[in-house]
Structure 1
Amino acid sequence: MPKVPVGLTAADAGLAGDRVVAVGSTARVLVAATARALRGDDCADLGHPTPLSRFTGAPEPVRRAAAARAVGRVALTPAQTAEVDAERVARWIVAQYPHRRWPAVVLGSPHGAAAHLAVALGTPWLPAGFELTVHWNRGAVDRPQAALDHGAALATRLLAGNPDVHVRQVHCPASRGALTGATVALAVRWRTLPAAYRRFLADRLDPGAPVLLLHDARTWPLLDDGRGHSFQVGCPASGLDPVDFHPDAPALRQVLRAAGGDGRHWTPPQVTTPQGDAEHGVESGFDQAAQEWTGRTGHPLHRVRVPHPDALSAAVADLYRGWLRRGGKTGNRLVVECGRLLDPWQVLRAGLVPYWCENATRRRVEAVEWWLASSEPFSSVDVLPEPPGVRSPALAGLPQWLAVAGFGRRRRALDRGCARGYPVSSVPTRRATEVLRNQPYDLPVPPRLGMADALDALRAGGSHQGLLVS
């Protein structure tokens, strides 16, 4: 089986796409997993054990130092931000997919259920942006204003060579822990369809093939300078609310202590937009460009607005159950994936229903519990809780994950490899493959899902949760 290309190096100066896009970022993992599934391959080569696995029981300062050293080996230097070419990143993304005609394409915000949906449709998934991390020498977890100053200078360098992107800087010690003081996290979002995407759509789609655009509709307070760079303190994925990042918030003090910071130094910059789109939103220019391209070429465009990740996860899980049953399978075996722990091909091979949790926060785990409580029972439930590598008051404990597994009537399994050292350990994506390979075969795969059936299922399964399909 041919392997997915690991890099795309252009003839001119600059950085290869696989050097730019942050290792372990959601979009990177989802593209890799989707491309492999469409090739009939699993994710056994995705992710390797990190040095942090040796420091699970170490004192917090030792573990934080090890984490900073590990991220330092893969983050960009400040000077390298001037070498980032967003168009080259787009070429690297589309190059990962097999060179053939496709019946549709899924674009937009990163979401594990979007990858599963794309695989059921037999189509690629292309993100509307990507993430990168850059060194912040002498940085500090508890200095958001200093992070803004440093990030603004980095964004200026990046935007100079990439005028068609927006750079969102996220300073969130609740989701990144001590790494917040070692690197700056930048979410780069295209403000139009990159040329590589346009060529891909023109050359690789069947005539009249539909385009599905997914929007993460969550909002967050932010500071926007109006020149292509915006800044937010905290993020929805933290499992906390914006108010929890106020200097007097008890949750913030716990987060900063765990990350090696001091709440007395925390002085966030004043927001200018109380409710702007969060870091994984889709730029209006990207949406408009997709609409113009589809209107000009005769390809139908459908949009799905996702108010919170659980809505799409539940709708796609219900969609899979119905699709599997129409293909003659039981649809009664569930796998609850989390974060980077997913494998769409192994899910298909075993005839499983996938439910994807964005992360290990209590809110996300409570959502799967509510969905399971209102669903027809499953005979087996396998749970893969990704350890976030940080401590936070917003995280779900192992008893809550065990409660999710407890919904299985005959089989109730919480992966021990994920549970070992939770929540501060690190587990590679390939752990999901290793676990799911133990599931019995349930082939052949059902006939490819049609877009019309997928949209009907999303409307039926997600409308009550606010999923808007148009």
Structure 2
Amino acid sequence: MGPAHRVREGRTTGLAGGRAVAAGSAARTLVAAIARALRGTDCADLGHPGPLLRLAGVPESVRRAAVARAAGRVALTGGQAAEVDAGQVARWFADQYPRRRYPGVLLGSPHGAAAHLALALGVPWLPAGFELSVHWPQGAVDEPQAALDHGAALTARLLKDNPDVHIRQVHCPATRGALAGATVALAARWRRLPAAYLRFLADCLEPGAPVLLLCDARTWPVFDSAPGHSFQVGCPSSGLDPVDFHPDSPVLRQVLRSSGGDGARWCPPEAVGSPRAAEHAVEPGFEQSVQQWAVVHRCSSHRMLVPNPAVLSAATADLYRHWLRAAGKTGNRLVVECGRLLDPWQVVRAGMVPYWCENATQRSVEGVEWWLAGSEPFSSVDVLPEPPGLRSPAVAGLPQWLAVAGFGRRRRALDRSAARGYPVTSVPTRRATEVLRAQSYDLPTPPPMTIAAALAVLRDAGSHQGLLVS
């Protein structure tokens, strides 16, 4: 590691790590949930910013304005974005975990099932990147070219002191609604293991402990704006296809109308780019540095290549059923989580099987429906749909969520608080804790699985769906 890199990791003028990471982003939520679970506590203190709980019945224009104002209160200014220190962000993630020796570690792409897998193994999870939300003054949801221009200027300043990250900018009104016109979304991905991670691995892993890297393998058309900065219009988690973001798409017009935009103004960059790894992928250099670390420290390294989130969710749910039954429990009670609505500690405390939906899109819900249709029946099914806070033709309706709950033989429960005002309201992360706390205890909790045993179950459960475990 060169001297310049050491200076960057140690500089004290950068924006504090916790302030830099976007509020409510996947990596932030997952690290918080896993760190609490490893301490034996739940997510009762985790909220979600925004005033949407109070705005279910107001006109769309008023609601969109309130969303933009709320985003403005938590987003970074351009000057703050330039002060972000990716090294401090890595340290902030690592410092959330209890300092003790762990039998392994998970790293890589964000996925709710990783939280449950980490707790079953008794190991931490460290993200391969993080998200930033930055003000876009006079922005417009229907002007992706203007978003690119603004994001390129922000990224150039950010990369000046952070050459070890790649910035993927995502302009997606289907997932962010009016926020796509008030802020720009930047996904920063480390090109190698940051120094704080290297210290954490050296200090907190048992000798020879294995390392497991989780890689999101989804692709999307990507445009290279400049060295270190790439741009994509739309994203896989939207529940739409790249063609749906074409100017002539009726789906796009519907999305923009719901977000306060005008389809006639939509003019994406001419060079739309070729399909490449989407925003939550792991940088090749990061993966290489993980492998190199494992070789130097004489431990095994493994990779899980996930073609879509439903595959890992299903395999992890099957793993939990296997794990619970090996400990003498029934494994017949299911909780279907969604987005930020998860609590790994309460799931284990109640002896439940968790299935995580990435979001409330029809595709995500269809994934759990197909898995349930092919699984041994569950006696109870509790469903926690996270309202996306916007309307989109890709969002699942409440009848589809009710159909998921209907797979329960005795108990079929759809959380009423999440359903109230769906899909335009918002509920805090702690709502999952409140629902799961009401479940009966099933103690003691099972002893942690070994990584070797877990990988064997995951290979068996997920290989036919394309989950590659090596």
For the aligned pair, the TM-score class normalised by the smaller chain equals over 0.9
Q: How does 1:394-433 map to 2 (within 5 A)?
A: 394-433=394-433
1:148 corresponding residue in structure 2 = 148
1:4 corresponding residue in structure 2 = none
Please tell me whether residue 259 in structure 1 is matched to residue 271 in structure 2. Answer: no
1:98 corresponding residue in structure 2 = 98
1:114 corresponding residue in structure 2 = 114
Deviates more, 1:49-58 or 1:61-70: 49-58
1:307 corresponding residue in structure 2 = 307
Matched AA of 1:253: R
Task: State the aligned residue count.
Answer: 462
Shift of 1:36: 0.2
1:380 corresponding residue in structure 2 = 380
Structure 1 length-normalised TM: 0.97
Deviates more, 1:431-440 or 1:13-22: 13-22
2:298 corresponding residue in structure 1 = 298
Percent identical residues: 74
1:191 corresponding residue in structure 2 = 191
Q: How does 1:33-432 map to 2 (within 5 A)?
A: 33-48=33-48, 50-271=50-271, 273-432=273-432
Shift of 1:270: 2.8
Matched AA of 2:337: E
2:177 aligned counterpart, secondary structure:
helix
CA contact (8 A) 1:223 1:270 kept: no
What is the distance in 2 between the residues matched to 1:62 and 1:162? 38
**Cα deviation digits, residues 175-218 of structure 1 (max 9, x gap):** 00000000000000000000000011111100000000000000
What is the distance in 1 between the residues matched to 2:48 and 2:274? 40
Matched AA of 1:270: E
Shift of 1:227: 0.4
What is the distance in 1 between the residues matched to 2:49 and 2:173? 23
CA contact (8 A) 1:49 1:426 kept: no
Matched AA of 2:245: F
Matched AA of 1:388: P
Shift of 1:49: 6.7
1:466 corresponding residue in structure 2 = 466
Matched AA of 2:91: R
Deviates more, 1:158-167 or 1:50-59: 50-59
Shift of 1:12: 1.9
1:225 aligned counterpart, secondary structure:
strand
What is the distance in 1 between the residues matched to 2:271 and 2:401? 36
1:5 corresponding residue in structure 2 = none
Shift of 1:48: 4.9
2:443 corresponding residue in structure 1 = 443
2:3 corresponding residue in structure 1 = none
CA contact (8 A) 2:211 2:301 kept: yes
Please tell me whether residue 27 in structure 1 is matched to residue 34 in structure 2. Answer: no
Matched AA of 2:155: A
Shift of 1:50: 3.3
**Cα deviation digits, residues 256-291 of structure 1 (max 9, x gap):** 000000001101013464111000000000001101
Runs of 5+ unmatched residues, structure 2: 1-8
The verdict on how the C-alpha distance between 1:408 and 1:135 changes in structure 2, with shifts beyond 3 A counting, is: same
Matched AA of 1:101: R
What is the distance in 1 between the residues matched to 2:77 and 2:89? 17
